[in-house]
Amino acid sequence: MVTAQRPDRGCYDWPPRTRWLHPVPHASPQSRIVRRPTAPGNTLPSGLHPVLRQVYANRAVQGPEELEKGLQALLPPALMGGMDEAVALLADAVQVGQRILVVGDFDADGATSCAVALRALRALGAAQVDYLVPNRFEFGYGLTPEIVALAVERSPDLIVTVDNGVSSVAGVAAASAAGIPVIVTDHHLAGAQLPAAAAMVNPNLPGNDFPSKAAAGVGVIFYVMLGLRTRLRSDGWFDRRGIAEPNLAELLDLVALGTVADVVPLDANNRVLVHQGLQRIRAGRCCPGITALLQVAGRNPARAQASDMGFAVGPRLNAAGRLDDMSLGIECLLTDDPDSAMRIAGELDALNRERRQIEDTMKEQAMALLEHMALEENALPWGLCLYDDSWHQGVIGILASRIKERYHRPVIAFAPADDGEIKGSARSIAGLHIRDALDAVAARHPGLLNKFGGHAMAAGMTLAADRFDDFQHAFDAVVREQLDPDALQARILSDGEVPADALTLDLAYQLEAGGPWCQAFPEPLFDGEFELINHRVVGEKHYKLLLRAADGGTLIDAIAFNQVELHPKLPTRLRIAYRVDANEFRGNVTLQLRVEHLESA
């Protein structure tokens, strides 16, 4: 198995918008371009651009109703299980002036969830609302008994968890013992035992019939706030207080950010939430913190896309929770003062640069270990477990993602914790539900995992440091049982070939507007053969290309990130997988192909 114990330093850096597929050392899984299947029998509008129509068909969109992005297309809050109990408790708390404490999580979904809860509750007339977010290095994840002890010092009458709580059995019990009811709002999968909360709202709980199981934590608390507004309206609260009923759609910028940053699937309901949030950001109707984070990242808020939320704003927000205290990120989202927002965004940007430096060092350590392993061909574990006692807890999730992308197999990266434990962060590939795999490990080896939880594609866990070898053997065995061998072969899924005369700036704009694109509704990717007219190296690692399609047409600019090392010499005829971009540079917008993969034609 794989254990990282080497002191090597260095980096191999990927721009955040790329997905590069590299061969495994001592093995040869070659990336291959595969055309996406088209769902038959759709009734998509004939007036759509033919390329966009094909893209939607490739994503199994059956009809125009699935493309509706207006607020009227949102699923109604009444469908969310547990809503009535949660709303009743919250309505009473608001109307009698109880102290409400929101307990968040230390990632972007948790931060946006916390900001939505506080902004909404205050707008709805709650007089005493505060928040508490765990420091991951001191308290770990969720509503732990230790966090409850801190909460008790603030004398809350009601605790509301956001983006956590479904696994907080001991924490909810501690709160109940202190006489504090808890409302759990979460989206993570439940374990064998549920906490005895006063109310639980989670679309992924057994028996919850809410159709969108892909809701992020921020989407769940947004729905709870919608339900609370309805309840307060029916109680006559706004009339009695003489206050205007708030427009909660103003919070959709936060909902869009948290939904994209948490990489949940963009089903139809999530696409509405994200689209509406992006519309508000582009129109300048968003919180100053999001605008500031876009600006420090060099992104234009007026042209904000889902990718900007995932690869520019989200990482800067996450940097606070990874290296310091997520309260800094939450305050950035709560302030209404643009100057304060810009100051905090600058601090978050500095933390993100520090995070990148730490990540670079950790990546080099992991890669140096794997490069030096004397393994026979194809002998890498199917499930990679990596550990080094110098690694940073806040960065192991990113490290696991990077190694997964490079080796195309499930990865768990571990870092030291307290009391002889190590913490792991897992990232999976299509075909393996990582939380189910961990559940299987725990069932077969009682006591091996101290705790674990997560989603299909990401999870976290703790175990004793001296059980690492046992765990990596057990994990690899489960992965080999549950994963089809073909899933280890990296594939590039293409939407097909675009005729040369269709490669225009207009197509780029139409594809941009056809989103939002994100997890499970990916940004369109095409493939084709091109003649290489000219090229140069930029930034030492990237190629700037001038291409002409094999079937003719005008010259087209392209950018190929991180391809210099892989392809020191370029052939004159290329087959590439690419995205169509409207590239903005110094105020000018031009067509550019963003090359994701290239090979000789």
Cβ-contact 421, 464 below 8 angstroms = yes
- Residue 57 three-state SS: helix
pLDDT exceeds 90 at position 458: no
Highest mean pLDDT pick, 2-16, 52-66, 449-463: 52-66
Q: Which CATH class is domain 1-35+373-489?
A: alpha beta
Highest mean pLDDT pick, 43-52, 84-93, 455-464: 84-93
Q: Would you state the pLDDT for residue 455?
A: 78
* CA gap 262, 339 in Å, rounded: 27
Cβ-contact 373, 390 below 8 angstroms = no
**Max Cα–Cα distance, the chain, nearest Å:** 75
Q: How confident is the model at residue 7 (pLDDT cuts 50, 70, 90)?
A: very low
Q: Would you state the pLDDT for residue 343?
A: 98
Tokens of 444: 């077969």
The percentage of residues in the chain with a pLDDT greater than 70, rounded to a whole number, is 93
* CA gap 74, 510 in Å, rounded: 23
Q: Would you state the pLDDT for residue 368?
A: 80
User: What are the pLDDT digits (tens) for 348-357?
Assistant: 999 999 999 9
Q: How confident is the model at residue 473 (pLDDT cuts 50, 70, 90)?
A: very high
pTM for this model (two decimals): 0.86
Tokens of 436: 């189910």
User: What are the pLDDT digits (tens) for 306-361?
Assistant: 999 999 999 999 999 888 889 999 999 999 999 999 999 999 999 999 999 999 99
Q: How confident is the model at residue 10 (pLDDT cuts 50, 70, 90)?
A: very low
Cβ-contact 547, 568 below 8 angstroms = no
User: What are the pLDDT digits (tens) for 503-557?
Assistant: 999 999 999 999 999 988 999 999 999 999 999 999 988 999 999 998 888 899 9
Q: Output the CATH code of domain 492-600.
A: 2.40.50.460
The mean pLDDT value for 53-58 works out to 94
Q: How confident is the model at residue 3 (pLDDT cuts 50, 70, 90)?
A: very low
User: What are the pLDDT digits (tens) for 363-390?
Assistant: 999 988 777 654 544 578 899 999 999 9
Q: Would you state the pLDDT for residue 601?
A: 80
Q: Would you state the pLDDT for residue 294?
A: 98
* CA gap 536, 559 in Å, rounded: 10
Q: How confident is the model at residue 560 (pLDDT cuts 50, 70, 90)?
A: very high
Cβ-contact 503, 549 below 8 angstroms = yes
Cβ-contact 388, 341 below 8 angstroms = no
Closest CA relative to residue 160, chosen from 104, 85, 229: 104
Q: How confident is the model at residue 585 (pLDDT cuts 50, 70, 90)?
A: confident
* CA gap 150, 92 in Å, rounded: 24
Angle at 293 between CA 284 and CA 303, to 5 degrees: 45
Which of 96-110, 240-254, 393-407 shows the lowest per-residue confidence on average (mean pLDDT)? 393-407
Query: Would you list the DSSP string of 93-138?
Result: HHHHT-EEEEE--SSHHHHHHHHHHHHHHHHTT-SEEEEE---TTT
Q: How confident is the model at residue 96 (pLDDT cuts 50, 70, 90)?
A: very high
Q: Output the CATH code of domain 71-340.
A: 3.90.1640.30
Q: How high is the mean pLDDT of the chain? A: 90
* CA gap 373, 2 in Å, rounded: 8
Closest CA relative to residue 467, chosen from 530, 505, 508, 420: 420
Q: What is the distance between the terminal CA atoms of the chain, rounded to a whole angstrom? A: 38
The percentage of residues in the chain with a pLDDT greater than 90, rounded to a whole number, is 78
Q: Would you state the pLDDT for residue 131?
A: 97
pLDDT exceeds 90 at position 475: yes
Q: Would you state the pLDDT for residue 149?
A: 95
* CA gap 172, 165 in Å, rounded: 8
Closest CA relative to residue 541, chosen from 558, 560, 559, 564: 564
Tell me the C-alpha to C-alpha distance, in Å, between residue 222 and each of 76, 186, 520.
12, 11, 22
The kind and range of the H/E element at 559 are strand 556-560
Tell me the C-alpha to C-alpha distance, in Å, between residue 100 and each of 110, 147, 148, 217, 580.
17, 15, 13, 18, 47
The kind and range of the H/E element at 363 are helix 338-372
* CA gap 600, 569 in Å, rounded: 11
User: What are the pLDDT digits (tens) for 158-201?
Assistant: 999 999 999 999 999 999 999 999 999 999 988 889 999 999 99
Q: Would you state the pLDDT for residue 534?
A: 95
Higher pLDDT, 529 or 455: 529
Tokens of 383: 């499930």
Domain residue ranges in the chain: 1-35+373-489, 71-340, 492-600
Query: Would you list the DSSP string of 261-292?
Result: HTT----HHHHHHHHHHHHHHHTT-S-HHHHH
The kind and range of the H/E element at 400 are helix 396-407
The mean pLDDT value for 202-223 works out to 96
